[in-house]
Amino acid sequence: MALTQKSNSLIELDAVIVGAGFSGLYLLHRMREAGFSTRIFETGDNVGGTWYWNRYPGARCDVESIYYNYTFSDELLKEWTWSSKYAEQPEILSYINYVADKFDLRRDIQFKTRVDSAHFDEEKNRWEVHLNNGQTVSARYFITAVGCLSASNVPKFKGLESFKGEWYHTGRWPHEKVEFKGKRVGVIGTGSSGIQSIPVIAKEAEHLTVFQRTPQYSTPARNQPNDPEYIKQVRENYSEIRTQMRSSLTGIPAVPRDRSAFDDTPEERRRTYEAAWEKGGLLTISYSYNDLSLTPEANETVAEFIRSKIREVVKDQEVAEKLLPNFYYGTKRPIIDTDYFETYNRENVTLVDVKKAQIEEITPSGVRTADAEYELDMIVFATGFDAMTGPLFKIDIRGRDGVSLKEKWAGGAETRTYLGIGTAGFPNMFMLTGPESPSVLSNMMVSIEQHVEWVSDCINYMRDNNKEVIEVNVEAENAWTKHCREVAEPTLYVKTESWYMGANIEGKARGFQIYLGGVGPYRQICDEVAEKGYDGFTLKASEESVVK
Ligand code: NA7
C-alpha cells in the first residue's frame, strides 16, 4: 500500500509507530514486509531508543549479549558477532544501526519529530496524529513503541537552575564526550545507571561524591570477551536456544534450581551463593533457590550473603555499613556491576547517605544536604525514569469520547490493559511492551519480538478478514488486570517501594504493572487469544463499525 500525502500537512498511512528503538524498528520491518504503509516518528536524530539516549559512561546491557539481539533473522544472527558477554552501549548502538541499514529501515523513519498527540476519530475509525513540526498524520493503526524507561526523571530539587556547573541525566547523556578530568563530580542515585557509571567516573574525576538514598544489592557481572569457539557453538545451536528463550520465564534460557533455600544447610547455602558470586551474572544468584522471591526468610539468606560480601570488599567499615541494603533482595531491579563496591576503597570517592540527611537544595556551587554542603563542578543525575506509564503519558492519547489515556488510567493509579497490548476505549491502538505485559521483568528482546509478531499478525488478520476496527472488551481487560495483580500479590515485589511500583516518582500512584507469569506462559496466552479469532477483542468490518 502506498503512503499518500494529501497536502503539505496531511499524511495518510496504514500505521504510525512511535519510537525507533528495538521494538519500533522490528515492527516497521514486519509491517512493510506485509505491504502496509508505515512510518516511525522518532524524537532523536537516529535509531536506538534506550541505547541512543543512555550513553553514560559504563552503560552496558546486563542480559548476555547472545540473548540480547533479534532472533527473527538467521542471516542477521550469522552476520553479527558480540565481542563480550555483556555488550557495551556503543556496541549495541552499532548493532541497531547495522540492522536499520541491513533492512533499509531509515527511509520510513522521520527523525527529530515528536508525536505530541494522537486522537481517535470515531467517524473515520482512524487515528489523527499531531507532530511537533505542525504535520498531521491520519492512520488506521496507532502503535506505541516508546519503551518502558524513556521518560527520564530529574527530581525537582530546589535551586537546580542556579547551579553554575554542568549537569546531566544518565538517560539523556550528551553525544559529545563529557570530560570528568580535574573535576569534582557528584552522582545522585545508585540504581543500575549509577552503579554502572560510578566506577568509570571515579577513575577519571578529581573527586567523586555519591549521593545515595537507598543502598542496593549488586553482584559482580564478571564480564569477559566472548570466546570464538563459544560463539560458534551458539550459532550452531541458535534454533534450540531461541526455542528455550521463548518458552522460558524471563526470556533467558535459565531455570531456577528446583530447591528451597532451606533444603540446604547454612554452609551449603553459603557455598552455593559463593559459587554464584564468583560466576557472576544476572540470574546466577537469584536462581540459586526457587523461593527467594517468595518468602522473607529465604530472601534474607541471599540478602545477608550479599551484605557479608559488601563488608568483605569495602575496607572502611563505616562506609560498608552505609552501603548495606535492607529491602527484599530482587524486589528492586537486581544489578550487576564491575568493581562497584571496590570503588569506595578509592581515596577520591565519598559516599553520602541522603536518606539520613536529605538533599535540601542545589546551590550555585554544589549540593546542600540537611547537614553539609558539597562543592561540585558537575552533577550526574542517575535518578531513573517515570517507568511504564510515563512514556505513554508524554503523548496526549485520546480514544473514544475524547477520553485521554491518562484520565482513563487515573494518572497511572487505575492502569488497565488487556495483555498489556491494548486498552478498552482505544480502538486500533497497540502498545509494545506496555504495562501489564512481562516487559522489564524479562529479556526485553524476547518480549519485543513476541509483541511485534503478535501485533503485526493481528493487523494482517484484520486485513485478510476485511475488518476495520479492533477493540479490547472491558470484561477481558478487567479479567487481565485482576489476573496480573493476583500473580504479583503473593510475591515480595509488591512489598518494596520501587520504580516497579511507581514509588520513585513524587505523587505517582503505587501499583505493580508488570505481568509476572513469565514470558513462555504469557506467549501461550497471547497465542490462544489469536487462535480463537482475537478472543477478548471486538472486531468490526467497516460497515458495522460503531459510529456514534
Ligand atoms: P533507578 O533504578 O530508578 O535508580 C534511580 C536512583 O536514583 C535510585 O538509587 C533512587 O533512589 C535515586 N533517586 C531518585 N530520586 C532521588 C532523589 N530525589 N534523591 C536522591 N536519590 C534519588 O534508575 P536507573 O537509571 O539506575 O535504572 C533504571 C533501569 O534501567 C534499570 O533498573 C534497568 O532496568 C535499566 P531510591 O532507590 O528511589 O531511593
Average pLDDT over residues 372-394: 96
Percent of the chain with pLDDT over 90: 91
Instruction: Report whether 236 contacts 504 (CB < 8 A).
Output: no
For atom 29 of ligand 1, which residue has the closest CA?
192
Q: What is the position in ligand 1's atom list of the atom closest to the CA of 503?
A: 38
Mean pLDDT, the chain, integer: 95
pLDDT per residue as tens digits for the range 409-425 = 998 889 999 999 999 99
For atom 30 of ligand 1, which residue has the closest CA?
192
CB under 6 Å to ligand 1: residues? 149, 155, 170, 188-194, 211, 213-214, 333, 354, 359, 382-385, 440, 499, 504
Instruction: Report whether 345 contacts 311 (CB < 8 A).
Output: no
Average pLDDT over residues 81-87: 98
Q: What is the position in ligand 1's atom list of the atom closest to the CA of 497?
A: 38
For atom 18 of ligand 1, which residue has the closest CA?
155
Predicted pLDDT at 381: 98
- Between the CA of 436 and the centroid of ligand 1 the distance, in Å, is 21
- Between the CA of 222 and the centroid of ligand 1 the distance, in Å, is 23
Q: In what helix (H) or strand (E) does residue 335 lie, and over which residues does it extend? A: strand 335-337
Average pLDDT over residues 119-135: 97
- Between the CA of 485 and the centroid of ligand 1 the distance, in Å, is 24
Q: CA–CA separation, 372 vs 18, rounded Å? A: 44
pLDDT per residue as tens digits for the range 167-215 = 999 999 999 999 999 999 999 999 999 999 999 999 999 999 999 999 9
pLDDT per residue as tens digits for the range 460-492 = 999 999 999 999 999 999 999 999 999 999 998
Reported as a pLDDT band with limits 50, 70 and 90, residue 2 is very low
Residue type at 493? Y
In this prediction the pTM is 0.95
User: Above 70 in pLDDT, residue 12?
Assistant: yes
Average pLDDT over residues 122-127: 97
- Between the CA of 103 and the centroid of ligand 1 the distance, in Å, is 36
254 alpha-carbon distance from chain centroid: 20
- Between the CA of 514 and the centroid of ligand 1 the distance, in Å, is 18
Residue to substitute in 61, 192, 218, 388 for testing ligand 1 pocket (most ligand atoms within 8 angstroms of CB): 192
pLDDT per residue as tens digits for the range 252-273 = 999 899 999 999 999 999 999 9
- Between the CA of 399 and the centroid of ligand 1 the distance, in Å, is 32
Predicted pLDDT at 464: 97
pLDDT per residue as tens digits for the range 349-382 = 999 999 999 999 999 999 999 999 999 999 999 9
Q: What is the position in ligand 1's atom list of the atom closest to the CA of 155?
A: 18
Q: What string of DSSP letters covers 273-326?
A: HHHHHHH--HHHHHTSSTTTTT-HHHHHHHHHHHHHHHHHH-SSHHHHHHT---
User: Above 60 in pLDDT, residue 545?
Assistant: no
- Between the CA of 17 and the centroid of ligand 1 the distance, in Å, is 28
